Chains A and B, each alone.
Chain A
Amino acid sequence: VFINCSLRRFSSEVEKKTQRSFSLMLDKRFYRERKSFLCIDGSKIIPSEQVNDDYCDCEDGSDEPGTSACPRGRFYCTNLGYRPHYIPSSRVNDGICDCCDASDEYNSHAHCPNTCWNLGQRERAYVEGQMRTLDEGLRLKQQLIEEGVLLWREKQAQLGELQQVSEDLQLKLEEHRRKKHEAERLKEQALKALEARDGGEGHFFFNLLYQLKGILNQNIFKIFLKMRALGLLLTLCFGFLSDLQKKLAIDYGANREFLFLNILTPFPPDLFHSKHIFLVWGTWSGTPKNQYGQMVYENGEPCWQGGSRSATVTLTCGTETALRSVKEPSKCQYIMDFQTPVACQPVLKQQGIHSEL
């Protein structure tokens, strides 16, 4: 980044401003006291008096780093004690204090105090707090990752158990199906026998066969009842199984650190003005660098006058796992801020350390 922008006006018209410009650092590459100035984009050479003379000569705005003359220009706030940054040239002398060192309002009616030191203090305190949160958060996250490993195993075990149970049930069901088949075959034979002796052997035998048929029927019915019970159990078991499989199919992060969140139904009903609103898990929607920084819920409960409810949840680093805010900027489209230690990332720490403060 060029430091060129720390230069202010150095037009000869105003002595004060000239002094100001020289009191600040100059980048000799661009603003040497020469007779001419080359626009940084190389498009034009202008006399050096025309640098910062409140008229835009360079297409790229590079000749007016200290005035509002160029539409594409930028002004550099040095902001000693705080963080330096650029503002659009259009905010120079517009009567609104933008740089905390008040340098953008050198020729306006705005009375801008220098607030850099206070801001810096506050920022430093904030960053320290953040660092503490981050440390604690990372510690908690490690715990959660470890717990996650156990939880994952537990869930896997559950899955295995459920699969075993369902297999057993299926086997049993199969066995009963066979039994029922057998019983039905017996009954069939008995009936055939009954029909073959039609009118011949007399009542006693007929009655015997008739009773046998009754017994066989009862037997079949018993087997049928057992099968129904088994079927119900199996349905239940499949339900549990598919729920669990659905749960386990979700991406819980590189270390399965999000496993402890009940991602499929994470939000208590009282969030939505005590109405229960169903939201359906969609996907992670963070940036490529921080894929797990945001989640989207879609196809929720239908909204009044069409559409369905949806939510975008941003995850931020914190020492507790809690929903910090819910907003509804458009009807039935929620924006939530969710705080949790698992959103803490070591990379934040590096950024913190590298802060220029």
Chain B
Amino acid sequence: MTAVLVLWLVACLTGTWAVDRGNFKTCDQSSFCKRQRALKPGESPYRALLETMELTNTRLTLQLINDNNKVRLLLELYRLQGNITRVKINELKPLKPRYEVPDVLVREPPTEPLSLLSQDENGVVLSLGAEAQRVIVSARPFRLDIVEGRDVLMSLNSRGLLAFEHLRMHEDEKEDGMWEETFKSHTDSKPNGPSAISLDFSLPGVEHVYGIPEHADTLRLKTTDNGDPYRLYNLDVFQYELYNPMALYGAVPVMLAHSAQRTTGIFWLNAAETWVDISSNTAGKTVFGKMLDYVQGSSETPQTDVRWISESGIIDVFLMLGPTAKDVFAQYASLTGTQSFPPLTAVGYHQCRWNYNDQEDVKAVDAGFDEHDIPYDFIWLDIEHTDGKRYFTWDPHKFASPKEMLQGIMDKKRKMVAIVDPHIKVDNNYKIHNEIRSRGYYIKNKDGGDYEGWCWPGSAGYPDFTREDMRAWWASMFAYDQYEGTMENLYTWNDMNEPSVFNGPEVTMHKDAMHGAWEHRDLHNIYGFYVQMATAEGLVQRSGGVERPFVLTRAFFAGSQRYGAVWTGDNAAEWDHLKISIPMCLSLGLVGISFCGADVGGFFKSPSAELLVRWYQTGAYQPFFRAHAHLDTPRREPWLFGPENTALIREAVRQRYTLLPYWYQQFYHAHRTGEPIMRPLWVEYPQDPATFALDDEFLIGRDLLVHPVTEEGSRGVTAYLPGKDEVWFDVHTFQKHNGAQNLYIPVTMSSIPVFQRGGSIIPRKLRVRRSSSCMEHDPYTLFVALNPQRTAEGELYEDDGHTFNYEKKEFLHRRLSFVNNALSSVNLAPDATFTTQSWIERIVLLGARKPSRVSMKTADGPENQLEFDYDSSTSVLTLRKPGMNAGADWTVNFE
């Protein structure tokens, strides 16, 4: 009886009947998804024609034949540098070219030699580089297995779901939905007919897969057997729901697979509408069931099967073979680049609202921050600042003198962001529209006229950002003499770039709209990527290539990390939305987009004071920290909720600012390596299964663990502190806790549970000022947290904070290490130069013993004895004013 009840409960919880899909398609309503999903596993019609195999030094090509219709495909296989294998499949002779996604890869990936190990009539075995990796090509049915030693890392078409809808003449087949389909009142003309592609991947030994943002779902992806696949199709979803696989604003077709042994990744380079199915042979089993298997020894190897389905284009897939998570990050970064290095100021706090009404309003909010002594760096203007939603203009009454306003903000060393959306008001008196139209830069409708849709300004055109000449022109519009009223402290926000079309199918563009020769269908998911690319380029160009840009985007694709920041769109002032901000940003970080945040406070609806405070406390520890609110909500600047809540919010924002040196160093690291800044625990503790599904806590870099309070009325949280041999220090009380335990932490409204890893050194600036620029020359306090071996290590990075001069080696990068009772700073980049005014004002050792004497030695100075203070109750040793320059070589000895 109980079992029945449990089954019923499980069915209820996993079923999709509760999801209101409203205006958006289910797989069943998307004809290609329905067709592809109807295919049965184990019936692959594809056969490799081994006699067509050609192997050059860098490339294997091979024809595949579909035995049902005799259509031939061409398979290309490349071994890429850095343990990546690329598999491309296209029609051997398509009726017309199929779309291949340009501009996402930072370069043509460099290859490594492939060699033939063996061959017979059943298949071919190739060697993949030095690591005893082989790829086995089986002929009948066609299948690829990537093997290392005795382990199969990944298999392709192992379930036989490879499908390639070849381009055909209209007369050939007239199945429903192939040549025309209608959703709600919108008819998609589909002049090219069916063109979908699909491929399955098996991941033996894998029980955890992550990535493929953007979805409002848990960090660990769920199996999709009982519902719709995860959908990747950039959409402007009004009041999105949580914990479901529906598509949202952005799409990164990258999935990571992890087990205690290995991390791998799949990058499916396709910009058309895509659906991803996930199934697992252990998913249905309870913990008890798994234990039973283990005891009875009947356990089969766990395995996750994944299947990608896209509407058009080709199969172009990069198999990133790890073996560690950090290797996968490096592999993906080598393909699509790393997080852009933002100006330091963008890492501070951002104050946004739809809308700050006029210049006077902006001034009053700015003054409010000073009056309440809360730091902030950016104030934002939403669409109402424009002259009738004509971007690149200012409302002549409300924002009559924008330069005066910007100067006022500059006088406080602060910045501003103004929105520029990619829908352009159709208005013959609007310069931007006239230029785009006369240059023919608009996307065309299926009949060849300029595509028009409804958005904020009413009838609007959509510039074709896939055109390089269009992007160059757009970038030139950000020049100070073109975009009137702007100054160097004005930055840009690209919203609605999915693109959002209020009267279009699923609130976006018709798939039969044309970008030159290509249909919108082929490249929908990359439109937003190009908008941000062109905008960022504009900001770089207006400064003559000197200044780093800052551009926020809502839509994104693989590679968007190169152009700025991303936020999770129009969330709501609800506790669950606060919670979901963690897995949503963690998922983005795993696929390269580190600069992620959610609207603090929630966009729709009005937060309670408690929710707002908790959101500030959470947002202060997420990479992009911006409060934002809908036009219809009451004002919610931090001082409007009574003095107690103002104080709580002030404290959260101040904690952010004290940590800016650490955050900035994390951004530099992400920019160099592609590693996520905000990362799941399993990335650092890959062998600890307890971490694999955690998404209510996270790490910033390696050294800070954050478990925000995201429950209403919470009196305590249970944080998992990882690492069997590790210790963690509460950053507020300096209390030491052992790793590999679930720690219950009682909380009050002021609590933000944050822990510093024993073995790390974190630089902070404790003199919190009005904005990050005001703190530029301030001294550092080093927090040295000792591990049980009494060692610690950290870094300190500094540059001018806003130019590209760091690329010309103008920065300082120090390694700080504590070993053998000596703390020292050595130069990590001897060929770089940068002079800082900042000095070390304080060193705080956590988990320290009381020394009898502490002395300091710099390279050119005499040995100095340092004053110190030891608190035996907390084992904290504080060195008073050592005073050395932050860029110097020095050693502090503890005796």
Contacts and interface: CB of A to CB of B under 8 A. Distances in A.
Interface in A225-271: none
A331 B768 contact: no
Given A55-B881, A96-B412, A91 B769 contact: yes
Nearest to B654: A71
A223 B364 CA distance: 69
A136 interface: no
Contacts of A53: 881
Interface residues of A, number: 23
Given A95-B413, A96-B413, A68 B767 contact: yes
Interface stretch (A17-25, A176-184, A279-287, A322-330): A322-330
A53 B768 CA distance: 18
Chain A interface mostly helix, strand, loop or mixed?
Answer: loop
A90 interface: yes
Contacts of A328: 357
B769 A71 contact: no
A355 to B, nearest CB: 21
Contact of A96 (B632, B768, B774, B881): B774
Contacts of B357: 327-329
Interface in A87-118: 88, 90-91, 94-96
Nearest to B768: A90
A305 interface: yes
Interface in B746-796: 766-770, 773-775, 778
Given A95-B774, A327-B357, A71 B767 contact: yes
Contacts of B361: 327, 329
B369 to A, nearest CB: 12
B635 A330 contact: yes
B880 interface: yes
A333 interface: yes
B633 interface: yes
A71 B781 CA distance: 13
B373 interface: yes
B139 interface: no
B757 to A, nearest CB: 25
A330 B770 contact: no
A329 B411 contact: no
Interface string B456-490: 00000000000000000000000000000000000
Interface in A297-336: 303-306, 327-331, 333
A71 B357 CA distance: 34
A94 B632 contact: no
A265 B766 CA distance: 54
B769 A55 contact: no
B841 interface: yes
B631 interface: yes
B767 A90 contact: yes
Given A96-B412, A333-B634, A88 B373 contact: yes
A69 interface: yes
B633 A330 contact: yes
Contacts of B880: 55, 57
Contacts of A306: 632
A71 B766 contact: yes
Interface in B395-417: 411-413
A88 B767 CA distance: 11
Contacts of A330: 633-635
Interface in B356-390: 357, 361, 373
A328 B358 CA distance: 11
Interface string B345-364: 00000000000010001000
A305 B357 CA distance: 19
B875 to A, nearest CB: 20
Contact of A331 (B373, B632, B769): B632
B604 to A, nearest CB: 11
Contacts of B881: 53-55
A303 B633 CA distance: 12
Contacts of A329: 357, 361, 635
A69 B767 contact: yes
Nearest to A93: B777
A96 B841 CA distance: 23
A135 to B, nearest CB: 30
Nearest to A333: B634
A71 B411 CA distance: 23
A331 B778 CA distance: 41
A90 B632 contact: no
A305 B605 CA distance: 11
B823 to A, nearest CB: 19
Contacts of A305: 632
Contacts of B412: 96
A121 to B, nearest CB: 22
Interface in B310-366: 357, 361
Nearest to A89: B767
B768 A71 contact: yes
Interface in B79-97: none
Contacts of A68: 767, 769, 778
Q: Pick the 4 closest A-B CB pairs, nearest first.
A: A94-B774, A55-B881, A90-B769, A330-B634
Given A53-B881, A90-B373, A327-B357, 16 more contacts: A54-B881, A55-B841, A55-B842, A68-B778, A69-B841, A71-B767, A90-B769, A90-B774, A91-B770, A304-B632, A305-B632, A327-B361, A328-B357, A330-B634, A330-B635, A331-B631
Interface of B: 357, 361, 373, 411-413, 631-635, 766-770, 773-775, 778, 841-842, 880-881
7 contacts: A53-B881, A54-B881, A68-B769, A69-B767, A94-B413, A327-B357, A329-B357
